[in-house]
Structure 1
């Protein structure tokens, strides 16, 4: 955003402009206000001002912290950062619904964990199977079909499934303040990416519609796919029950390097799984912005951090305090959490 407010021929007006700029604060803030508040769902305060200041500094041509547009890369975790993640990750909810839908064709599941626990609604039994059990559920519900068929299943699930607490479509539970931030960054020459532990093909179904982030700018965990030509001559990709890449924890910097090829200058997360992504972003030269969404609002959303079974925020919260990263306390920082409910759900 430009810091210039115009060119005046008279010294009087130059002096007046200088005085006004001092009273109004940094020049990019005045420019942003003159165009309307780009972050209307953010309360005035530290996090909002830190964002405005950072974007102003890196986009002011000729400024000490100016960053050329190709290097304005911003990365965002998805679960708990761009949309809700409680009581379970939404992709896990999808997988469990698929287990129940497929149970009639798999009578053996009624006597086999973790499928037995899913069918009976026994969350404790499912949790006891740990990561191994979760991978079995994902393999059984995500593999053995074409990528096109999987996309159609996910799209239909988003159309029909409802969140157990809010009774809204899962893909409507995106964070309004983060939607505004994404739009604000793109309006200022940033390229925005999702870098998430969630399945890349699952996220690509909704990322464009929900966030304005195209499929090629979604980095996530992926399974193996194989190319096949069907008897009718149609080429397809088949999803295999094997993991190819886990985009979580230390996998996130690797994913950024592998799929983006540029070190970000802005990163936002919400859990310990995002710590290495934030550290990698902070390690670059020049101006950097590191943000954490802290879930503190039990009334409008959820309150959880260090002991949560989903989106645990412990080490990263301590690191943010030591390094001066921006922590966004939802209860204090956001005027609204979600966009208004879709008309069909009101």
Structure 2
């Protein structure tokens, strides 16, 4: 899950995010051989082509149980005549974002953005100089931030409100173009998982509609989701901040208010799916306890279903964390996956490659 600007999210999640920063150091066949031979030949050719496509699919995935489960599920639900066939309109796949489609350590990427917004807004707010949370932030005093989390939440809400949604969109794009991850020194949008990019493309090639369902705000994800994931903004579901209609300088705009409309995390994810999609997914992919209810909701429907959990166990190429992590904690969902037979993806064993090649 990603941090959102309003205090309703910050109040409940700031402590664990800041603590993490401190710990981190910041087919058809014929019935007659004569009349239907061409059709049979076409079906055979399609079958061979499908097999070849599956064989070449997901090249960054090792050919283990996780990859085979994904390929089998897609083959079963897309093969006409299969007892598990699912019509294209019902092929809905949902993905969490943080820790599932891109990295989330040592801190949710959106939280880095929010803190930078406070720093950028500081010159317009000299009164902040006496604020203990602001002092701690400017001094990189993580313990100080933890002691003043309510004050920090108010600062973040103030710094990320008041502008129009178009202005905020540009601010996010600019920040992503300039900012770099503290460990990998790469743009955050390059720290997406290559195996997941392949999975998204493979699902769409087989008639699936892919959605992001994240605790992060829709404002933060929509500006770049299509360019990076191939997921258009209308297929991004997330936490949302209140906006209001206003006319500024004769132009109608939407202005951000410092309060939260909806938290799309934990039990909120199935609610967000219902509100935005109106269909129960048949495939859900997550990585943390914040995705547990989304996986339960997906697998609770009739017909074929698949739930997938990404387990971060690769400290060399990315990060290794699960039950004790302050960010992306995977505990109850891991137990549920083992008890219910969900597919658990080991980043270390199942992925040949983690990130795409760095751009020049």
| TM-score normalized by the length of structure 2 | 0.86
Q: Name the CA shift for 1:97/1:34 in 2 (closer, same or farther; >3 Å).
A: closer
Distance verdict in 2 for CA 1:171–1:319, change over 3 Å = same
Residue of structure 2 equivalent to 1:23: none
Separation of aligned partners in 1, 2:80 and 2:109: 41
The separation in 2 between residues aligned to 1:37 and 1:201, in whole angstroms, is: 36
Displacement of 1:123 in angstroms is 2.2
Separation in structure 2 between the aligned mates of residue 103 and residue 156 of structure 1, nearest angstrom = 18
Q: Which residue of 1 aligns with 2:133?
A: 114
1:128 to partner: Cα distance: 4.0
Q: What is the match of residue 225 of structure 2?
A: 207
Q: 1:129 to 1:264 in 2, by over 3 A?
A: farther
1:180-222 C-alpha deviation (Å, 9 max, x unpaired): 0000000000000000000101100110111000000000001
Match of 2:123 among 104, 109, 113: 104
SS at the partner of 2:172? helix
Q: Distance in 2 between matches of 1:32 and 1:108?
A: 65
Instruction: Give 1:103 deviation, angstroms.
Output: 2.0
RMSD: 2.4
CA distance in 1, matches of 2:268, 2:193: 25
Instruction: Return closer, same or farther for 1:137/1:274 CA change in 2, 3 Å cut-off.
Output: farther
Structure 1 pair 113–326 and aligned structure 2 pair: CA distance change class (3 A): farther
Paired residue for 1:58?
A: 77
Q: How many Å separate the matches in 1 of 2:156 and 2:298? A: 30
CA distance in 2, matches of 1:168, 1:209: 17
- Deviation at residue 109 of structure 1 after TM alignment: 2.5
Counterpart of 2:308 in 1: which secondary structure? strand
Structure-1 separation of matches of 2:151 and 2:213: 24
Q: Is the CA contact 1:110–1:119 (under 8 Å) kept in the aligned structure 2?
A: no
Task: Give the CA deviation at 1:117.
Answer: 2.2
Question: Given the superposition, is the C-alpha separation of residues 135 and 4 from structure 1 closer, same or farther in structure 2, using an over 3 Å criterion?
Answer: farther
TM-score by length of 1: 0.89
Instruction: Please give the alpha-carbon distance, in whole angstroms, between the structure 1 residues aligned to 2:142 and 2:96.
Output: 26
CA distance in 1, matches of 2:186, 2:343: 30
Shift of 1:118: 1.8
Report the 3-state secondary structure (helix = DSSP H, G, I; strand = E; otherwise coil) of the residue aligned with 1:114.
Answer: helix
Higher mean alpha-carbon deviation, 138-147 vs 59-68, is at 138-147
Question: Aligned in 2, Cα 1:116/1:299: closer, same or farther, shift over 3 Å?
Answer: same
- Structure 1: how far apart are the matches of 2:193 and 2:342? 20
Match of 2:355 among 325, 328, 338: 338
Partner in structure 2 of residue 313 of structure 1: 330
Deviations 1:294-340 (A, max 9, x none): 00011110000011111000000000000000000100000000001
User: Are 2:245 and 2:252, in contact at CA under 8 Å, matched by a contact in 1?
Assistant: yes
Matched residues, number: 328
- Residue by residue, what CA displacement relative to the aligned partner does 1:274-302 show, whole Å, maximum 9, x if unpaired? 00000110110000010001000111100
Per the alignment, residue 267 of structure 2 pairs with: 250
**C-alpha distance in structure 1 between counterparts of 2:30 and 2:124, whole Å:** 70
Q: What are the superposed Cα offsets for residues 35-88 of structure 1, whole Å, 9 maximum, x if unpaired?
A: 751100000100000000000000011110000011100000000000000111
Q: Contact 1:69/1:190 (CA < 8 Å) preserved in 2? A: yes
* Corresponding position of 2:102: 83
Per mean C-alpha deviation after superposition, the further-off stretch among 218-227 and 35-44 is 35-44
- Mean Cα displacement is larger for which, 47-56 or 139-148? 139-148
| In structure 2, C-alpha distance between the alignment counterparts of 1:202 and 1:156, rounded to whole Å | 12
